[in-house]
Amino acid sequence: MADAFDDETEQTVTMDEYLKEVEAEELEADLVLGGDEGKECTYNMGYMKRQAIFSCLTCTPEGNAGVCTACSLSCHDGHEIVELWTKRNFRCDCGNSKFGEFFCKLCPSKDVENADNSYNQNFKGLYCTCGRPYPDPDAKEQEEMIQCILCEDWFHEEHLGLETVSEIPRDSDGEPLYEDFICKTCSAVCSFLTLYPQTIRATECQAGVSASNTSKDKGVMESNPAPCAGGKLENNVCSGSSANSDALSSSPNHVAVEKGSSSNGTLEKSNCSDACAKDTACVLGVGSMVSPPTTSEIKPFFLAKSWRESLCKCGNCLEMYKQKHISYLIDQEDSIAEYEKIAKQKREEKLQKQEGAELDFINNLGHVEKMEILGGIADFKDEFRSFLESFDPSKTITSSDVHQIFENLAKKRKRT
Ligand SMILES: [Zn+2]
Ligand SMILES: [Zn+2]
Ligand SMILES: [Zn+2]
Ligand SMILES: [Zn+2]
Ligand SMILES: [Zn+2]
Ligand SMILES: [Zn+2]
């Protein structure tokens, strides 16, 4: 009985579903690779704003080196490779002093070391505050991880330093409502963010924030659309009082990081818009060297859509970003969203070129060859159509059906 049931629920995929799945996988790969074809070592392009990086545990088991896509394919084929997704400001290390006798096949002349590269535990294949590998062989279920935009390490939801994972701003489908995440450790570096209006943060209760927005802060902070106006009020952050525009600042979950700014959020907003009227003035008004909150107060940041655009670019703030080594925050091209946008454009171009190449191929053939290929396609279409017409639609197409189509085709070709 159980067997019969299993048979019936056996997964079947339609051709359309299959093609869509293949396309989605290709798209994902292209997004990580940023349109890099993986043919040339990126070393000569210097420290790239962002690129896909791999660590080879066979060559550099200490995890103190990273290589580009092309090198991972050409120079480290068959080695134990850790995919690091993308890293900012990195230059390919393949074959430099860290690799001993090993030479890069694609770009053998490199400096001894790339002094500006930074390496975190990810290069050893370890992630999060718990320092576990991903996928984790000891875990029952592979948990999704969230990447910090500062240190670029990845974190388990349970290890973010939150009271409960329900503090992660997500919509009712579990999709993230935040654009960027800054881990607990890095939040200390960015304590100045607490001086910005609440709208820079993504929260579960954007509704409350938008309600309190006035025309005063137009253009300064773009708040997300109200995602949890209705349904999802069951968690304690969005408690009943969220209809009240003060709900956010009075919510216990926000007090910790908001100290000093929680009670006068609206006041700050008007300060800010005044300041922004004059180009040179600091958005923060008071200067940005805030004394960081004490360790017990530090919470990770979840930042709202386009929050980077809101960052002050006055002389003082620019200097502060420089001192903190976070100037990339005001560089639009640093963001993964921008990287993926460019990757998508390159992908479109590539696909168009491919299509063009296929047409060129046909057009460059001699007349006889052309007719033969086009004839072959027509034959295949005919055969496939007659197969579909004769086929019982309630059944699944099996591989022997497909073989049959090709056998019929072969017979036809022999006859002609
Ligand atoms: Zn390389
Ligand atoms: Zn290697
Ligand atoms: Zn190489
Ligand atoms: Zn962890
Ligand atoms: Zn971090
Ligand atoms: Zn400023």
Q: Report pLDDT digits (tens) over 217-254.
A: 333 333 333 333 333 333 333 333 333 333 333 333 33
Mean pLDDT computed over 339-356: 86
φ and ψ at residue 35, rounded to 5 degrees = 80, 0
Query: Which numbered ligand comes closest to the C-alpha of 157?
Result: 4
Among the bound ligands, the one closest to the CA of 184 = 5
Report whether pLDDT(351) > 70.
yes
Ligand nearest to the CA of 74: 3
Average pLDDT over residues 196-209: 71
Between the CA of 42 and the centroid of ligand 1 the distance, in Å, is 5
pLDDT at 273: 44
**Listed range (171-175, 186-190, 305-309, 403-407) with the worst mean pLDDT:** 403-407
Residues 249-286 have pLDDT tens digits of 333 333 333 333 333 333 344 444 444 444 568 888 76
Question: For the chain, what is the total number of helices (H) and then of strands (E)?
Answer: 12, 6
pLDDT value at 10 more than 60: no
- Enter the tokens of residue 102: 């090993």
Q: Measure 295 CA to ligand 5 centroid, in angstroms.
A: 15
Please name the residue that has the structure tokens 């100290």: 259
Q: Is the pLDDT of residue 162 over 80?
A: yes
pLDDT confidence of 23, banded at 50, 70, 90? confident
| Ligand that lies nearest to the alpha carbon of residue 42, given by its number in the listed order | 1
pLDDT at 200 over 80: yes
Secondary structure percentages of the chain, helix, strand, coil, to 5? 45, 10, 45
**Residue 107 scores a pLDDT above 80:** yes
Q: What is the pLDDT of residues 377-412, one digit of tens each?
A: 788 888 888 887 887 777 777 778 888 888 888 887
Q: 250 CA distance to ligand 4 centroid (A)? A: 30
Whether the per-residue pLDDT at 358 is higher than 80: the answer is no
Top mean pLDDT of 9-13, 132-136, 252-256 is at: 132-136
pLDDT digits (tens, 9 = 90+) for 45-90: 999 999 999 999 999 999 999 999 999 999 999 999 999 999 999 9
Q: Which residues have CB atoms below 5 A from the ion given as ligand 6?
A: 282, 312, 314, 317
Q: Give domain limits for the chain.
A: 33-124, 145-330, 369-416
Measured from the alpha carbon of residue 131, the closest ligand is: 4
Distance CA 298, CA 292 (A): 9
- Chain-wide mean pLDDT for the chain? 78
Q: How far is the CA of 283 from the centre of ligand 6 (A)?
A: 5
The answer to whether 86 touches 107, Cβ cutoff 8 Å, is no
Q: Which residue has the higher pLDDT, 244 or 295?
A: 295
CA–centroid distance, 121 to ligand 3, in Å, is 22
Following DSSP, what letter does each residue of 299-349 receive, concatenated? --EEE-TTGGGGS--SHHHHHHHHHTT-GGGG-GGGSHHHHHHHHHHHHHH
Q: How far is the CA of 189 from the centre of ligand 5 (A)?
A: 9
Nearest ligand to the CA of 281 is 6
| pLDDT given for residue 8 in this prediction | 47
The pLDDT assigned to 34 comes to 79
Q: What pLDDT is stored for residue 204 in this prediction? A: 64
Is the pLDDT at 99 greater than 70, yes or no?
yes
Angle between the N-to-C axes of helices 367-390 and 336-363, in degrees from 0 to 180, rounded to the nearest 10: 110
